[in-house]
Amino acid sequence: MTSSAVSKRAAAQGSDKSVVTAALAAVDAAHAAFPEWAELGPAERRRRLGIAAELLAGKGDEFTALMAEEIGASAAWAQFNVRLAAGMMREAAAMTSQINGEIIPSDRPGSFAMAIRQPVGVCLGIAPWNAPVILATRALAMPLACGNTVVLKASETCPKTHALLAELMDQAGLGKDVVKVVANEEEDAADVVKALVEHPAVRRVNFTGSTRVGRIVGELAGRALKPVLLELGGKSPLIVLADADIDEAVNAAAFGAFMYQGQICMSTERVVIDERVADRFVEKLRAKVATLPVGDPSLGSVIGPVISDRSAERFLALVADARAKGADVSGGERLKPRLFKPAVADRVTSEMALFAEESFGPVVTVVRVKSEDDLAGVANDTSYGLAGAIFTRDITKALRIARKVQTGSFHINGPTVHDEAQMPFGGMKDSGFGRFGGKAAIHEFTDLRWVTIATEPVHYPF
């Protein structure tokens, strides 16, 4: 396996220094592989990435088993990961011939001026655990399409899942050391990430994860004067107007809030609703949520356990705080140490921690608003800005509100959880900056250069 990993076993047996040394060696190898990969024509890069996409698509069962083992994912969530990741790789393959420059008129006589895009070198991708196949593929697909080599920093929670993805890149014949993967124990993560970001051969950094860690990665990259793409946490609002199709809004809210028990960056954390229809909406939402199977995802349950004991305690604290401060909470009971009934917290106010803090668990809040004029303001009353949605039959009004809501993506009559390979995806405010996906990602993973050709002698003042 040319995309060699620092395995969890090796990391545990070695010192901090040996783990960092191995991580730096991965960057050195990717740097050495860069010139050959960068010189490949777009058709050949497209061919190899296409093979990688088909290999990925064919490994659904293996990824499903690994995701169940490492992160407790249901088969539905794992298979969705594989389908979208394969689509991302196919889209990246299609982009290899779309990396365009332009000819720019010059004021200098006899000067032919161009703006050209070219690969930057080694790109560091840091991927999380919650959508491990999608987000690791996203971290490497467009950088590769643009002619860069990649070092993938795997999540400590799902190293086997990320290692399998790297193996598939090798099997696709991308080339020796074009993709390297580094894994480590949690206690070594800070040292490894710092060393990787500061390595001189790393020219771009992309990180998907929490806002807290994203700030650290952003600061490291800033000190090293390296562009960084950050896709961070969210507190996504789903706005419901009085004229909305309530059944459709309920379906979208239940899906957006409770898919993978709310552990998705785009999860519907808040329903911001016109109080005239709030009672009817909450009644229907609670009825639907009560039907969601809770238990072992491998046996078909929709709601499975949260990822860690720390997540479980955080969920309990947020729900308890909301109850204590007057929220009308249904569900949320603890069934096992990490397993909870899904919760709907109605009449949530800004005094409650659940109003502002990302829960990353199986709970959705309902915030009632008296005036349509206040909907966008309440939706924006958060430090986050990743995704949003609105339900209404008035599309003109929906577009007007969409322009006011400060999120990187916004969906009219659809759920907040929505991603497609060709779309520009990223956040605003504390949800990060930069865009993954399609043509927008070309800007992130190439350098734009100004090149001129003098077609006649240049006049100089001396």
pLDDT tens digit sequence for 118-173: 999 999 999 999 999 999 999 999 999 999 999 999 999 999 999 999 999 999 99
Active site residues: 231, 265
* Residue 197 · residue 226 · CB < 8 Å: yes
Nearest to 408 by CA among 383, 382, 435, 437: 435
pLDDT score for 3: 37
Would you tell me which CATH number, out of the four given (3.40.50.12780, 3.30.70.660, 3.40.50.620, 3.40.309.10), belongs to the domain 237-412? Answer: 3.40.309.10
pLDDT score for 16: 56
CATH 3.40.605.10 fits 19-232+427-451, yes or no: yes
436: helix, strand or coil: strand
* CA 454/CA 90 separation, integer angstroms: 40
210: helix, strand or coil: coil
Which tokens belong to 349?
């106010």
Residue 424 identity (one-letter amino acid): P
Which tokens belong to 267?
């999860």
Task: State the pTM of this model.
Answer: 0.94
Q: Where are the alpha helices (DSSP H) in 390-460?
A: 395-404, 438-444
Nearest to 221 by CA among 428, 16, 434, 385: 434
Nearest to 236 by CA among 204, 268, 282: 268
Strand-strand pairing, 228-231 and 432-433 = antiparallel
> What are the residue ranges in the chain where pLDDT is below 70?
1-16
Which tokens belong to 99?
């990396």
- The phi-psi region of residue 378 (left if phi > 0; otherwise alpha if psi is between -120 and 50; otherwise beta) is alpha
pLDDT tens digit sequence for 199-252: 999 999 999 999 999 999 999 999 999 999 999 999 999 999 999 999 999 999
In angstroms and rounded to an integer, the radius of gyration of the C-alpha atoms of the chain is 24
pLDDT score for 10: 39
How far from 223 is each of 203, 219, 227, 229, 447, CA to CA, in Å? 13, 6, 10, 15, 19
* CA 424/CA 229 separation, integer angstroms: 12
* CA 127/CA 455 separation, integer angstroms: 48
**Where do the structural domains in the chain lie, given as residue ranges?**
19-232+427-451, 237-412
